[in-house]
A and B are shown apart, each in its own frame.
Chain A
Amino acid sequence: MMLKSRILAATALVAMALPGLSIAQDGEKLRFVVVSHIGSNDPNMNWLTMAMDEFEKKYPDVDAEYISTNNYSVQEHVRLLEQAIATRPDGIAVPIVSPDAFEGPLRRAIESGIPVVAFNIPDGRPTEDRIPYLTYVGGDEFLTGKRLGEYALEQVEAGAIPAPTGVVCASHDSAHEGLKQRCAGMREVMEGAGAKFEELFIGAEPATARNTLQSFLSANTDTNYIFTVAGWSSPWAWGVANDMGLKPDVDNEGITVLTVDEGPVSIEGVRNNHILATNSQGFWLQGYAPLEWLYWNTKFGYAPQQDILTGPIVINKDNAENWAELVRNVFGEEAYNQQNTW
């Protein structure tokens, strides 16, 4: 019995040591590449890169690289993806910003044996049509808009804000599937409540975006909800409405502003009563979990049997303090205050 136990223990030890041994023998680390649309102009990149640092600490036999583009161009993103594939990494994590544009390179990568995990934005097509990646790790963009819309209607019921008559979804990228899904989720709820719904492309340049939104609000006087699909554009929307005398703070009159993300701008907007609510889609997990699944797939063949949803969670005045504390710890006090553009 004793001998049997020793043999089992020794076998287990050898099994655990084997992968490390093979790497040590190869003298090469695994290399996973995250090809992201979240560039250095987006504070959310911090969540992802910090999570990747933690991953590298836990798995020193892996190099995790973050590649991104700042200009929201699908073409540029595809170019970066193709460059990354050409370097033959051991795994790729990528948001499926445009299923059509990403299909070709990703199918080729998967067929050549590179495992792929989608993060942040899934391939929204039916399962049988979608790119055959291992799994999706991230929020559900449609649910993000839907949950925020539902929360707004709960607040209408409670008498905290006016009922929606017209809703504008202000988007900075007309080709971004994830942003379209956020708008679609909000549209479903708001049209269900009898409100008019419009999707407006405002661009990412601040002055142009303000000018565009102001034009829209001037011409559509029944609009009383603004949903900005990026946290950083929420102060622009609030500022435009405020300049126009449309009373955009959270109360039972004027315009109501909703936004997304757990960055300092969104959270401070909620805390200062400028924003009704924002959301978290578990950004830290989106940086960490895809790499972990790539690792376990590469080493042991593990493959999740379903998508892994990391959000959305509604951040409102009740939990904004807790979120502010968490985000301060992630970003640091100075960066947090600097990025609070209210």
Chain B
Amino acid sequence: MLIRQADDIRPYEITPKSLYLGRRELMTGGIAAAALAMAPGDPAWATALEARKGPFSTDEPQTRRADVLSYNNFYEFGSGKDDPAANAASLTTAPWSVEIGGLVAKPATYALEDLLKPATLEERIYRLRCVEGWSMVIPWIGFPLADLISRVEPLGSAKYVTFETLVRPDEMPGQRGLFQPLDWPYREGLRLDEAKHPLTILAVGMYGETLPNQNGAPLRLVVPWKYGFKSIKSIVRIAFVEAQPKTTWEEMASHEYGFYSNVNPEVDHPRWSQATERRIGEGSGLLAKRRPTLMFNGYGDEVAGLYAGMDLRANY
């Protein structure tokens, strides 16, 4: 369990508000003209990223970029599917820092640039299956989380990794007002062996460019064999812990969302079936056909071994 201490200082608290506000004004001023010409939700500041081809990529047709940018669950920007594209432009993603702590030999707060410096970016084309019953195929750009983990040297007692999303109500409208659907910060977690699995990446881009805000800029997790909500967005904090952490959705409704949340067509969500999914953009418009959902989202050959002997019905 991640115990929050009273003297916790978040990275964004270290930067004085006046400073980052000032920077934001500069940025918005600079991009205002460019933004006028952009489609809604299309990030003005996207820059091209160099990446070599990585392993595990599927050759299935990729989901249209416009759909991936406009159909999002990112409750910090609102609970509607189109809220993130409409609201995420206000998020300042530079400067960005990630605090890495807990049971590690080298705890540190990294500026994003320093975190990325030793990383070799790869393109990984993965299936993404949302717990709601839809799926996409997305060409991510990122690097294995395992690389970062080995750099910070987890202690022998570290068994789990926890992640937290940014809390910044003045830039994230879903974190303001009366109807806040979740308890912030959004928290996720993986078992250490899941985190170190070669399929698990930290992504900084997609479709050859830096991540749009609504897709979790500037740094997000991608765990392709688990339901999409495990792939936490806009990470500001990573911690190594001994006990299995409580995740946001698990705390929200533990009988519906478990810690593991592996894609599993045989274990239904209590309120809906997980046997099939609608692949976004497949078929034409209203005639979208359902397709069978694959065990571990089709990554069973790679990850089934992680759960050998485990009852996946009990550990949903």
A and B found bound together: no
